[in-house]
Structure 1
């Protein structure tokens, strides 16, 4: 069985096929269901299995993992080598943000279904083959991006596990009650497998809470491109009466309101998750760069590079999309201005003027109601990593960490 049969939504449908924008979130929502934060299925047996799985995954990855890092530092900080400590520390910060983002998504998870319902409303306006093709390409691209995210995150977890096995220590040396990996090989492998399961679950969660903005915004941009073509064609049909042209204009205004409602539906989730990630992305990347340059061996460098890629994926693609989205709004205004409005009656012109003012307002997402999500914001956040690296170099912290205990 090929990939097309297993994952059909990854492949672009013919232009004549019916449009279903919600297919862009098919695998995303399936994975969110597997995260254990959706409504449990009906049926006693399935209900109990789902609740048990949700409890195990979220207990290990969402709630306990940040505390496991902290207690491990307090209990055995002197036993960490500098490379092991930085490998653990870079993940500890990201684990805390992942847990926070999972809780935010958990609170607003029903908004994903509301956004898909609005996708269905937008699909009703897609009539031409060229318009269908644009949506089909956005759907397949969204699903492929989701699997790229999944691959990068899982590769990081696996390479870190392999590196830990080579070095003979658990991945992060988290604290687990009644378990001491130093006592025996059995306990070492038990802790290593437990940490791998916890990190695998955290990566699985991270994919969902980081990729959902892309899976929703890419099809939205395709709808906006189709909408721009509709706006540009207003008033050009000589067989239409003035009343029919006005009705078409009103339909376009309603269509624009659906687009704005779609963005408002996702805005609280995006605002919370991106804000949390932007707060720590520079610090996490700074620790990772220090580890790669100063302490890591070959296997650890591979794992750290995968981790750096995963961290950059958490904010950069969506920040780029936000810039494109603002440009799309200006294209809508330009398209309306290029329509045949100048020869219409006074009522039509006044409505166009008001609509034009609305279209000129860009769709903007604000992270935590503090700063605009954009490429500039992402660059400012990631540049902090170089400040962290420079500070460590100037204070000779790396040399001090490398000294054996008791030396001056």
Structure 2
């Protein structure tokens, strides 16, 4: 199968193959490299620097400015639907650029996390354990390509629907370009906007999907760790010292898991906080556009955009809830192990360990929001508040009347 040869890490490896948890982030980190935020390789130093400059100039730095400048200069020429299509993307573009800068500053945290995954893999010895890791890695990579498909589908749908009506997708401002003057200028501006948006979507996939990729692999390790805890003290041929050494090793395993979470916590905190700030507003504008102004083509593009926005926070928030449940299962597994008849030293160590296991692993968005499904629902509900406000103030009707008046003048 051709796809399997090109993307082998998308498929589950054989149980006999060694566990390699880094495979779960293989394609993610390759795309992070192509974002131009890594240290340039010596062999392709100039090419990488030029690519990084072109992509980040268009997508990270200029695109948000282009949106705002376009509004200032050509606001009266926007139809309500075009304005909302551009506005919903503008807010997301600003948030995407901010998240890219956060990842750029903390990109070495991904390498630290992968090194810790290598430590965890050393404890994987059985075929059943290797199978869980392989399944988590393949699922992680498939989710990454699903994110990429949804995001790129939005960019392409918006581009095609805009070209069909003879306008650039977002009407950004580009010096020396007036898309109204000729078809050549229209094609050039549409191409530039499409390139910038594809670059932004490419970046957005990386900065939105990395928490999912890493936490999926972590959950597989935690499930294996739970089984390891449950088996403590079950071997009747072990000496007291051997049992105690196994307990100490499990304590070290738990510390490794916590170090893994700590290595990713600053990146996750910053990027999810930025997304929580804008998700409700962006979804509100998208709903208004779909219900009140969009034709079929722009409605399909807006629905693709809405799907992409929901993917930015929802899957990871769900995983955070599962992670809390996994922590509870670790404590239950240790309590269910065979410990009642063992020495006081063993029981004291187990008691302290059990207390630490009962502290759930949580991620915070800049110490303001707990990242969870409840928080995600709360910020998403704000979109309905935005929609209701616009409906009650009759802003949509006023925009439609203004558009009709402008058309009557001509």
Place the TM-score, normalised by the shorter chain, in its bin: over 0.9
The superposition leaves residues 240-261 of structure 1 with CA deviations (integer Å, 9 ceiling, x where unpaired) of 0000000000000000000000
> For structure 1, which runs of at least 5 residues remain unmatched after alignment?
none
Q: Distance in 1 between matches of 2:404 and 2:303?
A: 33
1:195-344 correspondence to structure 2 within 5 Å: 195-344=193-342
Distance in structure 1 (CA, Å) of the matches to 2:282 and 2:349: 50
Distance in 2 of aligned mates of 1:236 and 1:405: 76
Q: Deviations 1:178-223 (Å, cap 9, x if unpaired)?
A: 1111111110100000000000000000000000001100010000
Say yes or no: does 1:27 pair with 2:27. Answer: yes
Deviation of 1:353 (Å)? 0.2
Alignment partners' CA distance in 1, 2:133 and 2:272: 26
**Is 2:158 the partner of 1:163?**
no
Q: Over residues 270-328 of structure 1, what are the superposed CA-to-partner deviations in whole Å (9 max), with x where a residue is unaligned? A: 00000000111000000000000000000000000000000000000000000000000
Equivalent position SS for 1:369: coil
Alignment of 1:76 with 2:74, yes or no, is yes
Q: Distance in 1 between matches of 2:222 and 2:405?
A: 65
> Which digits, 9 at most, give the CA deviation of each residue in 1:105-141, with x for residues without a partner?
0000001000000000000111111111111000000
Count residues in correspondence: 406
Equivalents in 2 of 1:68, 1:365: separation in Å?
Answer: 34
Shift, 1:404, TM fit: 3.3
Q: How far is the alpha carbon of 1:369 from its aligned partner?
A: 1.1
Hey, what's the Cα distance between the residues in 2 that align with 1:111 and 1:396?
A: 48
Partner of 1:101: 99
Contact 2:314–2:376 (Cα < 8 Å) also in 1: yes
When normalised by structure 1's length, the TM-score is: 0.99
1:381 and 1:17 map into 2 onto residues whose CA distance is 43
Rounded to whole Å, the distance in 1 between the matches of 2:139 and 2:380 is 26
Rounded Cα–Cα distance in structure 1 between residues aligned with 2:367 and 2:53:
32
Q: Please name the residue that 1:376 is paired with.
A: 374
Residues in 2 aligned to 1:231 and 1:73: alpha-carbon distance in whole angstroms:
59
For residues 211 and 70 of structure 1, the distance between their equivalents in structure 2, rounded to whole angstroms, comes to 27
SS in 2 for 1:83: helix
Residues 1:390 and 2:388 are matched in the alignment:
yes
2:150 is equivalent to residue 176 of structure 1: no
The residue that corresponds to 1:128 in the other structure is 126
Q: Distance in 2 between matches of 1:407 and 1:158?
A: 32
Shift of 1:405: 5.6
RMSD: 1.0
- 5+ residue gaps, structure 2, are none
